Chains A and B, each alone.
Chain A
């Protein structure tokens, strides 16, 4: 597809279960970002990948959160032992990277509900 694709669009899980959220960026985009959107909290930066560089993980809220990007393309965000406060919309964005690029292209998001 032409845009950023995220799956699943909705995920309901029980507290304590692990979840995986997938992001397929725009082809050719070297930079990929994960954000968390909660009501009243705006977009909270989680992690970003730029090419082959080490990812910037400074926004991950706890060691239950991890992400990887395989082959410089698809990324998976994993949340282990989910808690109710993890309920949010998880957004993925990509861009072509580099100093002069600007526009982040966002996916539709994955809405996670932890019961």
Chain B
């Protein structure tokens, strides 16, 4: 069965610090990869997604993620975080064919100190 691991459960950073959140998945075939964000009191929304092509994808609000197939990873990065980035971040994987089931990780709670 597919699974998604997010190893950092809680991260606390000061403003302007760099961010990298880890995401690893277990599935050997073609995958589609996503990062979602849930700001306090709001619903989940898409940050970025990878389907094919350039493994470095850019999303909203200065976030980017890099797909490394050999490592089954899709880490999220941002060079300089802001207080408004305080939120919970979820990595998700969907098989590239056959099923459209999205499997989510357990999430990473990010707190940015002003």
Write the residues of chain A forming the contact surface with B, with a CB cutoff of 8 angstroms: 31, 33, 35, 40-45, 48, 50, 56, 58, 91, 93, 95, 97, 99-100, 102-104, 106-109
Q: Total contacts A to B, CB within 8 angstroms? A: 56
**Tally of chain B residues near chain A (CB < 8 A):** 25
Chain A's closest residue to B51 (CB) is A102
Chain B's closest residue to A56 (CB) is B101
Tell me if B100 and A42 are in contact (CB < 8 A). no
Contacts A100-B51, A102-B32, A102-B34 given; indicate if A107 touches B100 (C-beta within 8 A).
no
Contacts of B45 in A (CB 8 A): 106
Distance in Å: Cβ of B52 to nearest Cβ of chain A: 10
Q: In the bound complex, what is the Cα–Cα distance between A35 and B107 (angstroms)?
A: 14
What are 25 of the A-B contact pairs (CB < 8 Å)? A31-B100, A35-B104, A41-B106, A42-B104, A42-B107, A43-B44, A43-B92, A43-B104, A45-B103, A48-B100, A48-B101, A56-B101, A58-B101, A91-B44, A95-B100, A97-B100, A99-B97, A102-B32, A102-B94, A103-B34, A103-B46, A104-B46, A104-B102, A106-B44, A107-B43
Tell me if A45 and B49 are in contact (CB < 8 A). no
Write the residues of chain B forming the contact surface with A, with a CB cutoff of 8 angstroms: 6, 9, 32, 34, 36, 43-46, 49, 51, 90, 92, 94, 96-97, 99-107
Chain B's closest residue to A44 (CB) is B104
Contacts of A48 in B (CB 8 A): 100-101
Contacts of B36 in A (CB 8 A): 104
